[in-house]
Amino acid sequence: MLRSRIGRATRFVTYAAIGAVGTLAQYGVLIGSVDLHIAGPVAGSAVGAVVGATVNYLLNRRITFRSNARHAVALPKFATTAGAGMLVNALVMAWLTGPARVHYLVAQLVATAVVLVLTYSVNSVWTFKARGTAEGVGR
């Protein structure tokens, strides 16, 4: 039981670390979009999230979950999960930068924490099956 908890904690930390790489890509797009007046905070964050999600899928499939699920099986699930995460991210950003009047970078930190927990949970139990399961085996 303790080994299982340590394993889950290690996997979450790995997921979060890999998520940090994707988040850096997202924040780069967000900050660049806002500072260069290309887009507002919500749109910049959403576009950045697409870039970050791509990085996260590739790294999490290989490293965090060590999944052997075919891309045709895992990618649509990951995209659905990422889409839900982007929606939650946009809603949190819209509320915090609008009615709550929070600075967009602080709002993004809050949104990121919420989305991290949400997407990890879904990706753990739905997107990537454990190695050796019958569903989605192979590339």
Query: What is the dihedral angle through the alpha carbons of 123, 45, 91, 80, rounded to the nearest 10 degrees?
Result: -30
pLDDT grade for 112, boundaries at 50, 70 and 90? confident
pLDDT at 130: 59
Contacts of 67 (CB under 8 A, 6+ apart): 61, 74, 128, 129, 131, 136
pLDDT grade for 4, boundaries at 50, 70 and 90? confident
pLDDT at 79: 94
pTM as predicted: 0.71
> Above 50 in pLDDT, residue 138?
no
Q: Which helix (H) or strand (E) holds 115?
A: helix 104-122
Query: What is the dihedral angle through the alpha carbons of 105, 106, 111, 112, rounded to the nearest 10 degrees?
Result: 70
pLDDT grade for 53, boundaries at 50, 70 and 90? confident
pLDDT at 2: 80
Q: What burial letters (b/e) apply to 48-79, b meaning 16+ CB within 10 Å?
A: bbebbbebbbebbbeebbebbbeeebbeebbe
* 36 vs 54, residue with greater confidence: 36
Query: What is the dihedral angle through the alpha carbons of 92, 98, 104, 108, rounded to the nearest 10 degrees?
Result: 0
> Above 90 in pLDDT, residue 60?
yes
pLDDT at 1: 77
pLDDT at 43: 94
